[in-house]
Copies of this chain bind each other. A is one copy, B any other.
Amino acid sequence: MENQRPLILVSNDDGIMSKGISELLRFIRPMGEVVVMAPDTPRSGTSCSLTTNEPIHYTLVRKDVGLTVYKCSGTPTDCVKLAFHTVLDRKPDLVIGGINHGDNSSVNVHYSGTMGVVMEGCLKGVPSIGFSLCSHEPNADFEPAGTFVRDIVGRVLEKGLPPMTCLNVNFPAVKELKGVKVCRQTRAVWENEWENFAHRNDTHYYWLTGEYKNLEPDDEQTDHWALDNGYVAVTPTTVDVTAYGLMDELKSWF
């Protein structure tokens, strides 16, 4: 038992066929026994959502030395829950989401299915990391992220993470990464979020789109500043969302 290689569970929200998950596997496969349970179709923007109104299904795609791959009809969070229940023979040492095609820093953490994977791993008491590249290109270049992915995975396997905390790691889409910045979540809003169009004379159809507006673009502690300036943004993230600072004030209300 003591000589067991680390067991790493991988999922994502872009789906089993995305380049990002394939590149992640290439980077981390030498570091442990890897099991993948990933959505069979793209599931971007699914947050921590669950499939409650229909059954889900999983299938073995590939079994190789040190790598077993399953696809699943559920959400990213379903994938993690189902892998724990079915295909993992012990509690994993690490859960990884990604590598996502697109920025999951700042407020995007709330909508991200990649971070849904990570928060679920964290809620199950396993150190968990989300990796995202700030490019939606299907054929984006993940190569510059490789050494950082391996470094961060190695450190988390060695040191662990405190209960209820996980890492949200975002890479700017540049060739030369300047290094790592430990950051906080940037305050930002999405604006002009809908594109209206008419369908059969009904003008109430809308596609989601939007413009990201950073509310603190000059703050060097924020994850978006790091990304804008060529650094890997590592944002420690909690699944305990209690607003502790508000408790005393609220107690005075009642």
Chain A residues within CB distance 8 Å of chain B: 42, 44-53, 55-59, 77-78, 81-82, 84-86, 107, 109-111, 113, 116, 119, 123-125, 155, 159, 161-167, 179-180, 182, 184-185, 187, 189-190, 193-194, 197, 199, 202, 204-208, 234-247, 250-251, 253-254
Contact = CB atoms under 8 A, between A and B. Distances in A.
A77 to B, nearest CB: 7
The A interface, classified by DSSP as helix, strand, loop or mixed, is mixed
Given A50-B45, A206-B55, A85 B237 contact: no
B234 A250 contact: yes
B234 A238 contact: no
A82 B194 contact: yes
Contacts of A254: 179-180, 182, 234
Contacts of A251: 182
B57 A202 contact: yes
Given A48-B110, A164-B187, A166-B243, 15 more contacts: A45-B51, A46-B49, A47-B50, A50-B111, A51-B208, A55-B199, A57-B206, A85-B206, A110-B119, A182-B250, A182-B251, A182-B254, A236-B242, A238-B242, A239-B241
